[in-house]
Amino acid sequence: MHVLFVLVTLLLVSCSYGAVLRDLGQNHGKLIGSCANQGHLAEQQYAQILGQQFSVITPENEMKWAATQPARGQFTFTQGDAIVNFATSHNQKVRGHNLAWGEDNPSWLTSGNFNATTKQNLLKTHIDTVVGHYKGKVICWDVVNEAILDNPANGNVYKQNVWYPAVPNYIDLAFQWANQADPNVKLFYNDYSAEGSGAKPDAVYNLVRSMKQRGIPIHGVGLQYHVSLQYSPNIQQVITNIQRITDLGLEVHITEMDVSIQGGSGSQAQMLAAQATVYGSVMKACLGNAKCTAFVSWGFTDKYTWLNSNQMPLLYDTNYQPKPAYDTLVTTLS
Ligand code: XIL
């Protein structure tokens, strides 16, 4: 009895020490990922955890317009290529991010006062060139990012940005051009606050359903999942929403998950435990649907979060120590 107990304990301890998210995810057919920032790849601890734990990475900024076309007609792929090379040498996939968005655009584009025809041509050339460059090197593209208003109502659905309303059908066009540039890459619509129920999740659902019905090439929806202890969608409603999207024949990726402890209550340990529960419930929701095929967080260490580090939104602390959220993902996947 005593010997058995020791053996089982040893087994459990060794399992959790050897735990690697990507292997556990693979057992379920899920990619597990993080965004990656080229500027940190030279940092040994950063690179080691990124390379060991994840089977897919998303360039945090390196494939956005500002990075890839800093001057009109001049394309630079150095940063994005560094991400792809890192992924290749660590046997990882890459999610392309992104091709049309209202942010992280170069100023020549946003302040160029271009007319609609020129904007349309600029978008097409950009998509042809960037998708062409990364053909065969990324598994999917977030083609259009965050196109829908936070509170869509009465037919007023789309955010005004450099593309809209100048090119009213830019979403359809972007997907069609991306598909022409690489017929084999999967094309995603990606947005935040679209996870659960309400006007925005409905607007995202209606958009992608309409695209499917009209034969626009779209293969998936990215649910970013930027949430906090204060604002986090009801997980049953998330499960229902994932189901209705995948019922359209689309995949779902959780693309940018982080859970800020803002608005949490109790001690820090209690907040990190509550955060772990949110991560675990979302992983469980993804595991519950065969067409939820990737679970990606927006970074992995609180040292480098796009939020303030004191919001502690990620799986590792600022010293690269795994947090309760990491342990909960391991348990949920085991
Ligand atoms: C963020 C990056 O993390 C920041 O470094 C950058 O300054 C701004 O963009 N939704 C997205 C991501 O789709 O591209 C954003 O990334 C975070 C919100």
Which of 62, 195, 251, 256 is labelled catalytic? Answer: 256
Pocket test for ligand 1, best of 35, 306, 311, 314 (most atoms within 8 A of CB): 306
Asked if residues 106 and 126 have their Cβ atoms less than 8 Å apart, the reply is no
182 has pLDDT over 50: yes
214/76 Cα distance (integer angstroms)? 34
- The whole-number pLDDT of residue 154 equals 86
Ligand 1 center to 13 CA (angstroms): 37
Amino acid at 146: E
pLDDT tens digit sequence for 203-227 = 999 999 999 999 999 999 999 999 9
Ligand 1 pocket (Cβ < 6 Å) reads: 60-61, 104, 145, 224, 256, 306
Which residue has the least CA distance to atom 3 on ligand 1? 306
pTM (2 decimals)?
A: 0.95
- The closest residue, in CA terms, to atom 4 on ligand 1 is 306
Contact 64, 104 (CB under 8 A): yes
- Tell me which residue has its CA closest to atom 8 in ligand 1: 104
Q: For all residues of the chain together, what is the average pLDDT? A: 95
pLDDT score, position 3: 53
Residue listed under structure tokens 């990324």:
138
Cis previous bond, 165, omega within 30: yes
Confidence of residue 14 (pLDDT cuts 50, 70, 90): very low
Residue nearest to atom 5 of ligand 1 (CA): 306
Joined together, the tokens standing for residue 290 give 């065969």
CB distance 251 to 219 below 8 Å: yes
Of these residues, 62, 146, 195, 251, which one is catalytic?
146
Query: How crowded is residue 90: how many other Cβ atoms within 10 Å of its Cβ?
Result: 16
β 93-100/226-228 pair status: unpaired
The span from the CA of 72 to the CA of 333, in Å, is 46
pLDDT of amino acid 11: 45
Q: How far is the CA of 136 from the centre of ligand 1 (A)?
A: 24
Question: Residue 251 C-alpha to ligand 1 middle, in angstroms?
Answer: 22
Dihedral of the alpha carbons of 240, 244, 247, 252, in degrees to the nearest 10: -80
- Given a cut of 50, whether residue 16 has pLDDT beyond it is no
Return the pLDDT at 10: 43
Residue-level pLDDT at 4 = 54
Burial 255-284 (b: 16+ CB within 10 A, else e): bbbbbbbbebeeeeeebbbbbbbbbbbbbe
pLDDT (0 to 100) of residue 19: 79
Q: What's the CA-to-centroid distance between 260 and ligand 1, angstroms?
A: 15
Evaluate the CA torsion angle 47, 48, 53, 56 in order and state its sign.
positive
Helix (H) or strand (E) holding 327: helix 324-333
Weakest-pLDDT range from 1-10, 52-61, 147-156, 269-278: 1-10
The answer, yes or no, to whether residue 58 has pLDDT greater than 90, is yes
The most distant pair of C-alpha atoms in the chain lies apart, rounded to whole Å, by 79
> Which residue has the CA at smallest separation from atom 7 of ligand 1?
306
Percent of the chain with pLDDT over 70: 95
Q: Residue 141 Cα, ligand 1 centroid: separation in angstroms?
A: 15
What confidence score (pLDDT) does residue 9 get? 46
Tokens 């949110």 appear where?
Answer: 278
- Distant-in-sequence, close-in-space partners of 103: CB < 8 Å, separation ≥ 6: 146, 161
Q: What is the pLDDT of residue 257?
A: 99
State the pLDDT at residue 45.
98
Q: Span 132-153, mean pLDDT? A: 98
**Conformational region of residue 318, where left means phi above 0, alpha means psi within -120 to 50, and beta covers everything else:** alpha
155: buried, middle or exposed (CB in 10 Å: 19+, 13-18, 0-12)? exposed
Separation CA 207–CA 264 (nearest Å): 34
* Mean pLDDT value of segment 244-270: 98
Please indicate whether residue 62 is annotated as part of the active site.
no
Residue 81 has pLDDT above 80, yes or no: yes
Q: Which of 146, 298, 302 to mutate to test the pocket of ligand 1 (most atoms within 8 A of CB)?
A: 298
The whole-number pLDDT of residue 308 equals: 93
- pLDDT value at residue 92: 98
In contact, 128 and 179? CB cutoff 8 Å: no
Residue 141 · residue 174 · CB < 8 Å = no
- What is the mean pLDDT of the segment spanning 281-296? 98
- Rounded to 5°, the CA angle 52-56-62 comes to 105
Residue 55 has pLDDT above 90, yes or no: yes
Contact (Cβ atoms closer than 8 angstroms) between residue 294 and residue 31: yes
**What is the DSSP-derived secondary structure letter of residue 304?**
G
Which two three-digit tokens encode residue 302? Answer: 């609180």
Please state the φ and ψ torsions of residue 264, each to the nearest 5 degrees. -80, 165
Chain centroid offset of residue 138 CA: 14
Give yes or no: 146 in active site.
yes
Mean pLDDT, residues 243-272 taken together: 98
Q: How far is the CA of 35 from the centre of ligand 1 (A)?
A: 10
